[in-house]
Structure 1
Amino acid sequence: MASYAPGDRVWVYIEGDGWWPARVLSDEEIGARTPGQDIAVHFYAGIDTPASLYELNSHSEAAHICFFETSSEKAVTSSAELEASIRHAAEDATANPLKSDSAISASAAVAAAAATTGAGGAPGGASTIDPTAAVTRAAAKRMREMDDVDMAGSSGDGGAAAATMSDAGFRHLRTDDLHRLSEKIAAAVEAHSLTKVRAALCQLDGVDVYLTELEETKIGIAVGSVLSQPSLKPLWPLARAIVSFWSRHLPAETLAAIRTVKQQDISATGKSGVEPGSPNEPSSPVGATQSPLRKAPAPGSPGVAGGGSAFDHVGSPSAANEGTPLPPKSSSFLRHVRQRLDNPDNSVRYDDAVVEEVARRIAADITDFDDRQLLLVRLGEPDMEFLRMKLLSGEWTPRKYLEQPNEIFLTEKQKSEEAQRVANKMKAIEAAANAGVNLTHLFKCERCGKRDCTFYELQIRGADEPTTKYITCLNCKNSWSQE
């Protein structure tokens, strides 16, 4: 197994994003390490992607790290972000010289490890990954900001002290503490306070929640609101990491809608071609479930007072403008809304300027993750032209759309399926109700003329007198008695 020293340049594999160049940090640079993680690396910045921190275990995850080489096939990419990051790594004069021989040894060790795992039953020698273990491992890696914020003293609520530990090792806060944090994040987001939002989000480091807590405290909505504020862009990776970790608690219907949107995105990308930053090409080392966090020095910290931090030489493009709002970048949601609004099957076509304005208004007003995914699914339905027309014409604002009942968005096929389900359910209820009755065809109903009846007998007169039959028609529910 290869040995990595501080200052070595390495390739690090992020699940879902591929290989990215990074530099190994020393103990003086990283400070306290996360238990179980023996290597901390610093990802090189791209064009829009800031430099960020990541921790891993070089023994259990030996297949996810190897020495950096510009001649490696990992450096072949069409992503402008990854290309810029590779260029910064190659030009880093403060790092150790490239270790080509060691890189070859590391690659051989990775191949041997993959072959050994594949021999256990994976087809083609590919290693198999347990999804549960991947989630646990991703949560165990603490994606923390390289900041001087004191985690113990940043909160005056005392909620962290009252946290409990789950069987998986995650902390669970009390419901009132989650309520307090949700209100604090919402107030800080409304005030566009980068420092207060960062301090509140850091209190959620290693915290897990239950679905009932998400519904009751709205903590997920509060964290997700950070992603709608361009002035809080430095905290987007942290917010994404928290939301992605909690998303495993979402209902199956929501996860199914997300998968449907992703499949539509892949098919749309296949028709229009791959563009930089598309789902088929990683645009940053920030994944859907793991997000290395950028460094944001606190005002007056030694790194700022001394004229820079330990990572200034790496090439972060925004190190000098850390506290200033960054310009908003076109999001994938905005792009997908534009594509679905400008449907070629629309009976009325609108100018590109109108489509762009409506799409931006939707992206600004609809910030909830579930609402966004559901809207994308509805806009992509061929039978939902009325929804596209109402939004494009201005008859519906995004907020008015959110107020509409779900029934009006059912397609004709969905309505017929729902009616069929109701009819089948009523038949099942009726069959269950008639399961224990005494059925007969001996009596004819005087109202409907059918012979589907049920009856019972009672002896209401003398013992030598005939019984009285009480009959009910199963079709029209007509009832009568007969001697």
Structure 2
Amino acid sequence: MDAATLTTLVKELNTANGEGKTDEVVRILKKLKTEVEPSEDLLRSSKAGVAIGKLRSSTTSSISALAKEIVKSWRDKIEESKKKRKRDDGDVKKEDGAAKRVKAEGSSTAPSPSAASPIPSASASTPDITKTESKPSPSAAGTTAVSGKEAVRESSPRQPLSTIDASRTTPRTAKSDGVDKSLRADNTDGAHDPVRDKCVVMIYDALAGDSTAQNKILIERAVGIEMDAHKATNYSTGNDYRAKMRSLFLNLKDKGNPALRNEIVLGYITTEKVANMSKEEMASESVRALNEKIASDNLFKAKAVGETQAETDAFKCGRCQQRKCTYYQMQTRSADEPMTTFVTCTNCNNRWKFS
């Protein structure tokens, strides 16, 4: 079923529900259940998810049960579709990586695995990093020979947390490492800006908290990230720069995101890339999964764009005798006839209409 047809059915569903036509609502729901192949774009454009999501609280048991069944079925199908896309993307990336490795190995100019290692030379003195450098995976080496550091991040699994000490209880800082007084931003004119210097220390602290890397490597990364962030904000230390540095600091020091720190220290992500990453790109995998779940739930919980309803005490409910009602008006007959008023009791959910 295409978006236009589904949108028309949703409008018919809302109208039938507003007029209290239970049989018509059930008929449309059954049609939607059997004929709609749900997708996020289709449900958003037609507002079907929102319309049916609201019917789950209907006082008519047949309607609420059917609406709940449809919402559950659609949500499961959308989640399965997402998982399938992720699996397919992973397979494609693996195939691309294998093809590039074959091409690199067959070329007379292809570098050796040791030469293709993406680990910066500055990290050679760190035991954990040296170990990683001496035994790079064939996938990482071949891919780097073709596309560089960014290709490694995109086409191979995240590297083991070789620079992260998860058992550390006391965070490392620039002060505990004895470098807080000497840490300076990379300023071409030779002058020291206290704001930029302080930001370099912040980034160092964020990277060093649970790291086993040497001071020299952490200093290099912190200075590079600050310099690229300064460049990205037009060489200013105003509000935009400070907001950017706060965002970087908070995301980099997140205890639930050690993989990001590990890849930055190892050099798999360049300092320029880090400085220009959004908070969504820096988010940990658990946060990304939570955001996806919230987005999926919002398909059914968001308020629909429909008739504007006003609250009033001008009507009295015939069922509970309360004057807590909402109402809206719609032209359901010819233009020269008065509009029909639809009233809903907010206390017992009783609905009635009159013109």
TM-score (norm 1): 0.21
Greater RCO, CA 8 A, separation 6+: 2
Could you say which structure has the higher helix fraction? 2
Rg: which structure is higher? 1
* Bigger fraction of residues in strand: 1
